């Protein structure tokens, strides 16, 4: 297996990120403008996973007040199950901790058992369920981890 490197997002990564986003989220994929905004607003916590020269995943987190939010995380299908998302999330958590932030939260589709399992493995617990959270009307589960 190729070695995965976690590093900060660069503008030249955007086409690869958009491809991962479209493959992962289909019609609910974020537009390029939103990724540019995150790169501007949360540059330290917009991370990419690279296998050689290929971008295979990304995560975006932002700090607001005394907590951080994981805004999005996605990995190419052929790299899922190899620890890429775990590495991205651990790197984000470590960066957030270094900023002196004590908690991180996220939203996950209530039916996304794989993602919820990853988050639980890294210390996140369910705090609430929000009906109709997603654009298609699906419920979301809010999770939080004390860092």
Distance of CA 128 to the CA centre of its chain: 19
Element at 113 (helix H, strand E) = helix 113-121
Q: How far apart (Å, rounded) are the C-alpha atoms in residues 113 and 144?
A: 16
User: Is the separation of the CB atoms in 55 and 20 below 8 Å?
Assistant: yes
The two three-digit tokens of residue 118, written as one number: 């990853």
How many domains does the chain divide into?
Answer: 1
Residue 140 domain-assigned (yes or no): no
Instruction: Report, as an integer, the average pLDDT of 48-72.
Output: 96
User: Is the separation of the CB atoms in 52 and 2 below 8 Å?
Assistant: yes
Give me the domain span that covers residue 80: 4-105
Instruction: Report, as an integer, the average pLDDT of 123-132.
Output: 96
Q: How far apart (Å, rounded) are the C-alpha atoms in residues 121 and 51?
A: 24
pLDDT digits (tens, 9 = 90+) for 79-106: 999 999 999 999 999 999 999 999 999 9
Q: What does pTM read for this prediction? A: 0.94
Residue 114 domain-assigned (yes or no): no
């Amino acid at each position: 297996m190729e070695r995965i490197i976690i590093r900060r997002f660069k503008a030249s990564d955007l086409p690869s990120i958009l491809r991962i986003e479209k493959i992962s989220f289909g019609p609910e994929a974020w537009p390029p403008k939103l990724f540019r905004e995150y790169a501007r607003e949360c540059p330290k916590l917009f991370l990419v996973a690279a296998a050689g020269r290929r971008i295979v995943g990304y995560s975006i987190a932002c700090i607001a007040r005394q907590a951080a939010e994981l805004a999005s995380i996605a990995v190419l299908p052929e790299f899922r199950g190899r620890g890429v998302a775990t590495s991205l999330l651990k790197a984000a958590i470590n960066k957030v901790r270094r900023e002196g932030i004590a908690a991180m939260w996220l939203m996950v589709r209530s039916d996304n058992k794989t993602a919820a399992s990853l988050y639980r493995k890294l210390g996140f617990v369910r705090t609430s369920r929000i009906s109709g959270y997603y654009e298609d009307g699906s419920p979301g589960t809010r999770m939080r981890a004390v860092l």
